[in-house]
Copies of this chain bind each other. A is one copy, B any other.
Amino acid sequence: MNGAPQFGKIVIFGVGLIGGSFALALKSAGEVGEVVGFGRRLGSLTQALDLGILDRAGFNIGQEVGNADLVLIATPVGTTPEIMARIAPCLGPQTVVTDAGSTKGDVVAAARAHFGERLGQFVPAHPIAGAENSGALAARADLYRQKQVVLTPLPENAVASVARVRAAWECCGALVRELSPAEHDRVFAAVSHLPHLLSFALVHDLTRRDNRDLLFDFAASGFRDFTRIAASHPEMWRDICLANRTALLDELDRYRAQLDELRDALQRSDGAGLEAAFDVARAARRAWAENKASE
Contacts and interface: CB of A to CB of B under 8 A. Distances in A.
A237 interface: yes
Nearest to A262: B201
Interface of A: 128-130, 147-148, 150, 177, 187-188, 190-192, 194-207, 209, 211-212, 214-216, 218-235, 237-239, 241-242, 245, 248-249, 252-256, 258-259, 262-263, 266-267, 269, 271, 274-275, 277-282, 284-286, 288-289, 291-292
Contact of A255 (B197, B201, B237, B266): B201
A200 B273 CA distance: 13
A187 B218 contact: yes
A279 B234 contact: yes
A263 B250 CA distance: 10
Given A187-B214, A197-B262, A202-B198, A225 B222 contact: no
Given A188-B218, A199-B226, 8 more contacts: A129-B220, A195-B226, A216-B288, A222-B229, A224-B289, A225-B229, A231-B289, A238-B278
Nearest to A256: B259
Contacts of A252: 259, 262-263, 266
22 contacts: A148-B218, A191-B206, A191-B218, A195-B222, A195-B226, A196-B222, A200-B281, A200-B282, A201-B262, A204-B258, A219-B288, A222-B229, A224-B289, A225-B226, A230-B285, A232-B282, A233-B282, A234-B275, A234-B279, A242-B266, A242-B274, A256-B259
Contacts of A274: 237-238, 241-242
Contacts of A207: 280-281, 284
Nearest to A225: B228
B263 A249 contact: yes
Contact of A215 (B191, B267, B292): B191
Contacts of A195: 202, 222-223, 226-227
Given A242-B274, A263-B249, A277-B200, A223 B192 contact: yes
